[in-house]
Amino acid sequence: MKKVSVIVPVYNGAKFIKKCLDCLINQTYQNVEIILLDDGSTDNSLELLKEYEDKYDNVFSYTHSNVGLSQTRNIGLSYCTGDYVTYLDVDDYFDYDFIGKYMEVADNNDIVIGGYRRVYENGESEFTYVHEISRWSMFKRATVWAKVYKKSFLDSNNIKYPDARLYGEDVVYTMRCLSCNPIVKIIDYVGYNNLINAQSITHQNKDRLINDVPKIIENINIFIKNNNEFLKKNSKIVKYYYLKLFSNFLIEQAEFLDEKKLQNYYSKNITDIKKLFKDYGYKLSFCWEKSEPIKVNIFLNLVVLFEKIRAGRVLVKMLNICFYKKDNKYGNS
């Protein structure tokens, strides 16, 4: 049996540790290495991790000063001895047959991608997501949820997370992986449970969402800018990937940022994207992905249209009128 390393970053996750680690200990697949990484927690997380390490031979816990999720996952990769790697956030959990289902199809594949559920703390599901079988599906959900990676593929291509603290690190990691031409298998199995956690970074610090978008774009570009074959063969996908990233954050931030801040976000990032497109030999043009929701495609193309007619300020003003909430606690941060 091939060995699977599971990397679990932990920061003040004491509330979730038992459920998370019990799902790993009780996997039906037996050859599992569990790498627990305490990222400078201030609660009793490390004590709980040590208890599992003392009890189980395949559990290994490590601790370091707080460096953030990206660097913690990179540290975890350095400890792995498995043939395959998968990631699990401490507030999430696997179904008990998760690793077994993936390993049934892992041979000869560099990445195996499955679906996931969004769940509440009581276990009830908000929705279930299953990937369509298409090339765009590999890029569509730019997270590490419900994916298994061949370790030799990651090593040979020097694929790591960005060194910086960065919201959206999964967006960077996904493009870095897929730009290296992996053999990918998409399965219809759903066994990853992603908790709706109101205390997560995403919910708690909206400023990071706007400040980190330029860093996301920069960290993708650093890795793929010299990959001419990938850029040429995947021009439609790369354009859509950047424009969707930009558009999603634009409409999300319209609720939290006043018009001036939203305009600054728009101007900075659309300028950067257009420059990258020029460097890649692309033109800013309309694009459509049939597996994306119609509203996503329409808004993305509205962004392109308003930029083409040099009316970006008008679009920003419209978004401000429609979405901005003056009493939102993030609005004047």
278 with 163, same domain: the answer is no
pLDDT for 145: 87
The structure tokens 């990651």 sit at: 154
In a domain, 171, yes or no: yes
Q: Which domain holds residue 156?
A: 4-202
- Co-location of 177 and 302 in the same domain: no
* Domain identity same for 218 and 284: yes
- Do residue 227 and residue 101 come from a single domain? no
3-state secondary structure of 324: coil
Among 202, 233, 263, the domain boundary falls at 202
The domain boundary, picked from 171, 202, 233, lies at 202
Per-residue confidence (pLDDT) for residue 327, from 0 to 100: 63
Same domain, 253 and 225: yes
Nearest partner of 114 among 124, 125, 99, judged by Cα: 99
Q: At 199, is the pLDDT very low, low, confident or very high (cuts 50, 70, 90)?
A: low
Q: Is the predicted pLDDT of residue 208 greater than 70, yes or no?
A: no
Question: 20 with 162, same domain?
Answer: yes
Q: How far apart (Å, rounded) are the C-alpha atoms in residues 301 and 309?
A: 12
Calpha distance 138→193 (Å, rounded): 19
- The pTM score is 0.91
Q: Are residues 119 and 254 in the same domain?
A: no
**Does 126 map to a domain?**
yes
330: confidence class by pLDDT, cuts 50, 70, 90? very low
Whole-angstrom distance, CA of residue 160 vs CA of residue 162: 7
Is residue 280 domain-resident?
yes
Do 190 and 303 fall within a single domain? no
Assess if residue 267 is contained within a domain: yes
Residue 333: per-residue pLDDT = 37
Contact (CB, 8 A) for 36 and 60: yes
Q: Scanning the structure block, which residue is given the tokens 């299953």?
A: 130
Looking at the structure, tell me whether residues 169 and 231 fall in a common domain: no
Q: Is the pLDDT of residue 97 over 50?
A: yes
What letter would DSSP give residue 117? Answer: E
Read off the pLDDT of residues 225-243 as tens digits, 9 standing for 90 and up: 999 999 999 999 999 999 9
The pLDDT > 90 percentage for the chain reads 83
pLDDT at 163: 87
* 266 CA to centre of own chain: 22
Q: Determine the 3-state secondary structure of 311 from DSSP.
A: coil
Q: Verify that 183 and 50 share a domain, yes or no.
A: yes
User: What Cα–Cα distance (Å) separates residue 130 from each residue in 136, 138, 171, 291?
Assistant: 13, 12, 19, 12
Is there a single domain that holds both residue 40 and residue 120?
Answer: yes
The single residue listed with the structure tokens 């610090």 is 205
Provide the domain count of the chain. Answer: 2
Q: 277-297, pLDDT tens digit by residue?
A: 999 999 999 999 998 999 999
Residue 330 domain-assigned (yes or no): no
115 forms beta bridges with 190
Rounded (to 5) percent helix, strand, coil in the chain: 45, 15, 35
Per-residue model confidence as pLDDT tens digits over 308-318: 999 999 999 99
Last-in-domain residue among 182, 202, 222: 202
Report residue 203's pLDDT band, with 50, 70 and 90 as the boundaries. Answer: very low
pLDDT at 177: 97
Structure-token match 């908000």, residue found: 126
Judgement on whether residues 38 and 75 belong to the same structural domain of the protein: yes
User: The domain that contains 160 carries what CATH number?
Assistant: 3.90.550.10
What percent of the chain has a predicted confidence (pLDDT) above 70?
A: 94
Answer for the pair 115, 131: CB distance below 8 angstroms, yes or no. Answer: yes
Q: Which two tokens stand for residue 85?
A: 């790697």
Whether 17 is covered by a domain: the verdict is yes
Question: 21-30 burial string, b = 16+ CB within 10 Å, else e?
Answer: bebbeebebe
Angstrom distance (rounded) from CA 168 to CA 330: 19
Residue 126, amino acid = E
Can you give the pLDDT at residue 57? 97
Cβ proximity of 35 and 65 under 8 Å:
no
Residue 108 lies in a domain: yes
On whether residue 329 sits in a domain, the answer given is no
Average pLDDT, the chain: 92
The whole-number pLDDT of residue 200 equals 55
Q: What is the DSSP letter of 218?
A: H
Interval 148-182: pLDDT, tens: 999 999 999 999 999 888 888 999 999 999 999 99
